[in-house]
Structure 1
């Protein structure tokens, strides 16, 4: 029971944090409408199934009421032509996604364009 309460509290915290984030100035940068498109939602759902609801970095399995992130291996802003390419997508939990995003901010677009799935795994493990 305590575990369920803990998960529930974490979900409420993340939901509130996510809502605040989506209403921040950064949401414009992310092009929220694109991420809400039916095409993206369908592809994202497919990636969840392909990756078995499991973070490709740490192996964390998605719990009920927990969100995972369908992430672009090569960021969408760096390679928009790969935005809807399944081979450029993978499922990450929030912690691994946040670590990856922090590293991305320190790299140039040229460096990001040549990053592979295996290189990201080595950096983030």
Structure 2
């Protein structure tokens, strides 16, 4: 379990994260939101390492580039195509399809989210097609497998 302590304007809060990558992504977003705040700092506490302190989003550029690189990687793009073919371009939850409604937007969803299960990021059995509405409603809180 990873913990991050966020401090700004004399207020501090602490939040747990399951993975180091998830904690670093959260720190990056938080620092970007508070970049104009004087004295903002995030400290990452990990089980096996000394605490790391961050006060500027540029210190976490590597995390952001890893996120972008995953979704533009050839491995992801090939797997994504395979999932669309396997699931016939249809939402596993509600059945929506661009064939019936051209405004339908489909996403490839990680059933178990990448943030907490990075080892399953490229596992085709952990992927399903969801329309935008179903995917946004699911977020990363549910691990429901809709496809049969």
Tell me the TM-score normalized by structure 1.
0.58
Aligned to 1:83: 121
Tell me the TM-score normalized by structure 2.
0.49
Q: Does 1:92 align with 2:120?
A: no
Higher relative contact order (CA 8 A, sep 6+): 1
Question: Aligned pairs, how many?
Answer: 84
* Structure 1 stretches lacking a partner, 5+ long: 1-23, 105-111
The answer on whether the counterparts of 2:98 and 2:104 sit within 8 Å (CA) in structure 1 is yes
**Higher Cα Rg, which structure:** 2
Aligned to 2:24: none
Aligned to 1:44: 80
Deviation at 1:33, TM superposition (A): 1.7
Instruction: Give the helix-richer structure, 1 or 2.
Output: 1
State which of 112, 128, 141 in structure 2 corresponds to 1:74.
112
Deviation at 1:116, TM superposition (A): 4.2
**Structure 1 runs, 4 residues or longer, greater than 6 Å off:** none
* Structure 2 stretches lacking a partner, 5+ long: 1-28, 33-63
